Amino acid sequence: MKVRTKASRNTDPSTSHDAETFVNQSGRRDIQQQKVIKLVKDFPCRTASELSSVSDLDRYQIQRRLSDLDGLKVRKDKARRCKKTGRTAVTWRCV
């Protein structure tokens, strides 16, 4: 499944648009989406930071792909205190 939400705004610098093009054309976005779906299946009810603890992706990469997939393959669940950061954060489940 290829989900192609807009990753950069019209007001973003050209470097953001270049990065979006690279991630899409290289297939990296698709690979990361599949990794994140598997992470959420294997570790449900975790925050993006907690998922990063069991992945080679960082929290920011995971959060971007969760946003891409929200409502399609994964969905937001309850918010709670993150075990990694100590801040309140949303958890995720597969649809």
Is residue 7 over pLDDT 80? Answer: no
DSSP 39: H
CATH code assigned to 27-94: 1.10.10
**In terms of DSSP H, where are the helices of 1-95?**
14-26, 28-42, 48-52, 59-69
State the pLDDT confidence band at 1, using cuts at 50, 70 and 90: low
Q: What is the pLDDT of residues 34-90, one digit of tens each?
A: 999 999 999 999 999 999 999 999 999 999 999 989 999 999 999 999 999 999 999
> What is the C-alpha separation between 63 and 61, in angstroms, rounded?
6
The predicted structure's pLDDT at residue 4: 64
The predicted structure's pLDDT at residue 5: 65
CA 45 to chain centre: 14
